Structure 1
C-alpha cells in the first residue's frame, strides 16, 4: 500500500518541481575540501580503513579534510591504531556510482569500511526496491574485493530537517530518505559484519554548513566520534580475545 507522501506526489508535482528548481538556483555550491585522501598515521595494531560515499563522505561543508569526516575519524583512531586509510568519495555519487568507483580499485584488504550514501539516491528518485538491489550489489562487491571484518553503514540523513529545503519538498524527501534508510537497517540485521548507525544529530544550526545542506565541522566531529567508538570496540575486543 502506498504511503501518504507517495499518494500526494502526483497532485503536489507542479509545486515540488518549482521548489526543486528554486533550490538548485539558489543553492550555495560548496567544493570538496582540500587535503589528503589517503595516508598512514598512528601507532599500535594495524588497521586498514576505507571511507566511501557521497559529498558528506568527501567532506563538503568544511575547508580542509582535517575538519571533514575522514580527517576527524583519523584523528580519533590514530592514538589507538597504526591506521592506513583511504577516502573514495565524490559529490553527487549515488550507490550505483560508488559501485563503479570501487570496482575500479585493485583488490586489496580493508579491515573496516565506512559508507555514507543515500541522499543522492533520494533526490534521483531511486525506489526502495532499486536501492535494496544496489546495496546488495555493493555489499557483495565489498566482501569479494576487500574482505572487511566490519562495515559501518551511516544512516540516510533526515532530509526533512535540511534548512535549505522548503516544505512540502522537505517532507517528501524526508519520507523517502526514511524509506531508504529502512533498507540499510534491514540489511545490517541480516549480516553480522555490518552495523547500521543512524544519522541522528541534534537539531542545531551549528551542526549545518553554510549551504544548509551538508554537515559542519562540529557535525563531522560528532559523526566521526560515533564511528570511531564502534571501530575501537570491535577491534579492541578482537585483540583481547
Structure 2
C-alpha cells in the first residue's frame, strides 16, 4: 500500500520518471568475457549475478568492471574460476528464472547485485524482501555456496540525474529496502552485505556518463569490499616442508 505522501505525488513522480528515462543516455553493457579462470593456489569458484551495474554498463571493458577488478584482486591468492550472469533491467523476481537456466554445480561464492530495478518499480518492500529470501534459498539449493554477498542499494536520493521530488521518493525507498535487507540478513552467517557507501568517496561523485550507473572507481571499491569478505575462505598455503 502506498503511503499518503507517495500517493499525493504519484502523478508528478510518474511524469518525472518518464522524463528521466527519455533523457538518460542508454549505455551498453561492458564488452569482454563473462567466464574464465586465472591465478594460482587453492581453487575458488565465484559467480556474479545481477543487473546493469554488475554487467558493467558504462564501463569500457569487463576487466575494468566489477568482475575483472575482483578477479584481479583474488588471482594472487587462489586459482579463481569465475562466471558472470547479468543483464540490464534485471530485477529480483526475474533473477530467479535466470538462476534456473545456469548450468553449474557447486560454487564457493555468489555475489548478487539486485534491488535498484525493484526500487524503481512499484514492488513493495516486503515483496522484494520475500523475493530476495527466495533467491538466496535457490542459490543455496542449486550451488551450495559458502558465502552469498548481497549488494546494498546505492543512495538513489543523491543521484544528480534525478529531479526532486523523484529523488526524495527513490532515496526513501532505497533506505527502507536497505534497512529491511540488513535486519533480515543479520542472523544468517553465510550472507554478507556490501555497502558501497562505506569507506569510499561519495558514491555519486564517481558515476558513468549517464550519471546513474557506477563508474570505474566504484567498481574498484566494490571489488575491494567483496575481496575482504572472500579472502578468509581461501586456505593459507601449506608451510614448506623441504626447508632444513
CA contact (8 A) 1:158 1:199 kept: no
TM-score (norm 2): 0.92
CA RMSD in angstroms comes to: 1.9
Q: Displacement, 1:60?
A: 0.9
Tell me how far apart the structure 2 counterparts of residues 183 and 228 of structure 1 sit (CA, whole Å): 24
Matched, 1:68 2:97: no
How far apart, CA to CA, are the structure 2 residues paired with 1:138 and 1:63? 30
Does the CA-based 8 Å contact 2:206-2:215 persist in structure 1?
yes
TM-score scaled by length of structure 1: 0.93
Residue 103 of structure 1: aligned partner: 100
194, 206, 209: which one aligns with 2:191: 194
Aligned pair count? 237
Report the equivalent of 2:232: 233
Q: How far off is 1:175 after superposition?
A: 0.8
CA contact (8 A) 2:42 2:234 kept: no
* 1:159-170 paired onto structure 2 within 5 Å: 159-170=156-167
- Provide the C-alpha distance between the structure 1 equivalents of 2:165 and 2:188, rounded to a whole number of angstroms: 36
Instruction: Select between 200-209 and 92-101 the one with higher mean Cα deviation.
Output: 200-209
Q: Which has the larger radius of gyration?
A: 2
The answer for the alignment partner of 2:52 in structure 1 is: 55
Higher helix share: 1
Q: 1:24-70: CA deviations, max 9, x gaps?
A: 11011100010010000000110000000111111112120011111
Structure 1 residue runs of 4 or more that deviate by more than 4 Å after TM superposition: 236-240
Deviation string 1:86-122 (CA, Å, 9 cap, x unpaired) is 0011100000111100111135110000011100001
